[in-house]
Structure 1
Amino acid sequence: MISVLSACNDANGKEKEQGEVGIVQEATTPEPVADTKTDLDSDNTIEKEEVVNDTGNATTNTTSTKSATNTEQKTHLSSGDDAINYLRKELDMEDAEDVLFDAGGAYLKTDEHGSYYTIVLSSKTWKGGGGSGTLERYRVYEDGKYELDYGNHSSKSIQITNGDEAIAYLKNQIPEGTNEDVIFGADPELQTDEKGSYYFVRLSSLSLRSAGGTGTIDNYKVYEDGTFELYRAI
């Protein structure tokens, strides 16, 4: 500290002690360096940074760097309604008001791929015209897999030898077989494709015919061994 003593006369001639004028030079004290601690949580990968400030209080800054974990949720469909809701979503037909989904009694069946529900899609408009309205059939498996159901593999002992037998067999396999409005007709000629020999069976609606149309609602290939599938013209 440097002290300066000075005297001066005031306006009345009196001497007045001005006092000490202090010029103080303080040494600059360096700010405390923060004591940083980093903890690593191995489970959630969370970094915690603890900083000790100049008041002696510790503050903790936490930064989460948790990485996303891909968790596969296994699908299990336990009812026909589950299968219908699942298929609607998968086909993006949740808002398709004209399409009906039917689980056919929700009976669980089994094939070489597992247990499945048969879901039949039909058109309200077509049904309103008197037909079955069938659009497609699907096999929806319990694990969420699904596929178009083109037919049914029967016992090896089945042997269909003519068109009438093909009609009688098909009626027992599909829902339209009990619909009085639906009539079945078969081409008597045996035809062949890469899968084997089959009879061509056509399903028609009486009410649609009476309205002036052909009334055709579906066509099937019924093979000699009892296998059948919907026929789709290319």
Structure 2
Amino acid sequence: MDRITTIGFDADDTLWHNERFFRMTQEHFAGLLAEYTERDRLLSRLLEAEKRNLARYGYGIKGFMLSMIETAIEVTDQRVPASVITEILHAGQEMLRHPIELLPHAQESIRALAPSHHLVLITKGDLLDQERKLAQSGLGDLFDAIEIVSEKTPDTYARIFARHGEGAERALMAGNSMRSDVVAPIMAGAWGVHIPHGLEWEIEQADTPFDHARFRALRHLGELPDLVGWIDGC
């Protein structure tokens, strides 16, 4: 078994909290539109808008804000009050100002692996917001490289691990998203390690590759150094 030389880390909901702020804003959004439609129908329409708009706006809070505004216009037959649009904008701006809260074991696991492996932060979303969160996290100096990408595909991982290491075959990706952080790197030839968060965006769901030799699931990020040590020792 090839020794791992490069380790990729997802950011949102792997190193710090993220999805719970989207959920909180969704509930506020549902309250704003309560007189026009029921909550479940509204959130279903919002998810449809987010899926449609990924190709236009990409991932992140700004695209989420625009999708909420679009959904509000649709469900009110273009009668949404300007005050509601203002509240949606304020809610999104509050998300952009929210302080970073590291998840358990994030810093100690990165510090444990940094001396022996090439560490790359691989995240997608709005460039300015991701840079803000990384700066606030205090983890930036621990990474050898930062990659903020528009999408996480097998080709994306193949390019990143070739650029920042010795190829996908000697790389490992750790993250909370089954689709983006586990299945895609495995398809590129790397290890895919699932770090469950508890909240998962519907768009990021995928079948778990239980039978794949390069799939592992951990209880938390604190178990990653031992897993890497086991792989390197095989």
Larger Rg: 1
Which structure shows the bigger proportion of residues in helix conformation?
2
Q: TM-score, normalised by structure 2?
A: 0.21
